[in-house]
Structure 1
């Protein structure tokens, strides 16, 4: 009597036979025809090599084997029902889970302080691993290597990736762009003019040859070709290059505000139009019912509202 040869659908039929001790009443209990119930009894007899139900006078009685099956069958059905009702749980105060999130250095600098504060308050043993968002991040998300991505929803920069119908997106916050300079080396009394902007030496952030930032697109739209003196791998490293130089860095306003004062830099309004940055949280629908993922999603949304 091999388990892998047994049709588990027969367990309910067996339980009905053992309880009702009558084919007709067992069929009525399961809302099936008497013929279907008789077929189930025949298959059960073949499996156990036992009659299970035998006629004694005008009624049916259980065989010794059938009587011995009453409690194990009921317990098995109860266990199956319990298993089918199981839902994952997440206890923030005690849970020890790890989540991988890919984001830019800008998002890490602007968003993560709020996320970390909320995490320490509500889920002190949960760990968020932050990785750099790159051209392969969304493909890794779909493969299950990442739990979330945070960034601008702009699939053009992810040329080899085509978002599937399983992608879920939640908007977090918006930011615009400003110019940052060292006032001791860049001569400008008011906001930088378009002419000054076009003639100044610039630093540029490069995430790779196929990646075009919103600033790059703003330059194209304004039909200008800034004089690029240096290229940095991130916005935070670019702003660190400014002290002691006449460079202009076009950077997110919130990042500039968080770093300029400590570096004695000056923030000015950007003279060209650059599309606002809209940061979003991205995940896969297969994690929608995971309470741990749901908790982290709400954490990021709340952090976005606090910015």
Structure 2
């Protein structure tokens, strides 16, 4: 297994096979034909003198050697990617860089306007790609598929991810929760009482069967089981469901303040205690000294202080 005889182009193919465990899906991942991936698999099998991927029933499984290769291959690819992205300097006025950030719809609505305003003022050719934060986002961050994640640091909701020592975290801003109703359909004077809150129809945000929001945990700690009449995929979609209904939506204060007036909704203090939300910026230590990453981190921190 001489290093100088190994085609480094095969590393990406090997990583795709180890991740997808399927030739077709590996080809789709790398945007190549299935025939090309099959050829790469043959070359890898010859090099390692191992089948790597074997059929077990209707599925494919990794051989012991292939399983042992997963971490070293990902580490090697990440190191190569980092080396290729290193810049001796970063000139925000002229540099053309792209950064991928995963965040919730709430963070995008509250934080990104300030981020983009600062970005356009100082780095007009830099692009920030925003993706939805989900259960796999932090794994993708470790793999190098993302540059940053923005969200609540709550690893309980990311059961398929175990934080490594390479994770870096910096707080951006805090927010609390309020209740939003349509005053034409939810008659009350002043703030909503605990009894009214418990008996009202509620909307719930669901990010998946294993994901508990801070609101879900607040309900649990308060010992109440609200009457859930609808589930929404995001907080922004939940508040859009309230107009014309007697629904109560428990959402972030900043989101309520930005949307309630346009929707003719009323904002009230929540009658139960819900843990404050702390949004943080997350990245990996391998990018600590990259001038472009440092610039974007400073941008997000400044935007967090401005909102």
TM-score relative to the length of structure 1: 0.72
Structure 2 alignment gaps of length 5 or more: 5-85
Aligned partner of 1:99 in structure 2 is 99
Alpha-carbon distance between aligned partners in 1 of 2:203 and 2:281, rounded to the nearest angstrom: 28
Question: How many Å separate the matches in 2 of 1:220 and 1:105?
Answer: 24
For residues 134-188 of structure 1, give each alpha carbon's deviation from its aligned partner in whole angstroms, at most 9, with x where no partner exists: 0000000000000000000000000111000000001000000000000000011
Corresponding position of 1:50: none
Matched residue, 1:29: none
Match of 2:155 in 1: 155
Partner in structure 1 of residue 113 of structure 2:
113
Aligned mates of 2:229, 2:171 — CA distance in 1? 35
Structure 1 alignment gaps of length 5 or more: 5-85
SS at match of 1:210: coil
Range with bigger deviation, 87-96 or 184-193: 87-96
Which digits, 9 at most, give the CA deviation of each residue in 1:41-78, with x for residues without a partner? Answer: xxxxxxxxxxxxxxxxxxxxxxxxxxxxxxxxxxxxxx
Is 2:278 the partner of 1:278? yes
> What displacement does 1:259 show?
0.1
- Larger CA Rg, structure 1 vs 2: 1
Give me the whole-angstrom Cα distance separating, in 2, the residues matched to 1:207 and 1:281. 20
Q: Distance in 2 between matches of 1:101 and 1:188?
A: 41
Partner of 1:301: 301
Q: Secondary structure at the match of 2:150?
A: strand
How many Å apart are 1:88 and its aligned residue? 2.1
Question: How far is 1:289 from its partner?
Answer: 1.0
**Which residue of the partner structure matches residue 252 of structure 1?**
252
Contact 2:181 2:247 survives alignment (8 Å): yes
CA distance in 2, matches of 1:87, 1:111: 27
Residue in 1 that maps onto 2:80: none
Aligned residues: 223
In the TM superposition, what whole-angstrom CA distance separates every residue of 1:259-285 from its partner, at most 9, and x where no partner exists?
000000000000000000000000000
1: distance between equivalents of 2:157 and 2:116?
28
Superposed CA deviations along residues 211-240 of structure 1, whole A, max 9, x for unmatched, are 000000000000000000000000000000
1:220 and 2:220 correspond: yes
Say if 1:233 and 1:87 are closer, same or farther in 2 by CA, change over 3 A.
closer
Look up the SS of the partner of 2:130 in the other structure: strand
Which residue number corresponds to residue 196 of structure 1? 196
Quick one: distance in 2 between partners of 1:286 and 1:147? Answer: 11
Equivalent residues in 2 for 1:164-203, closer than 5 Å: 164-203=164-203
- Three-state SS of the structure 1 residue aligned to 2:117 is helix
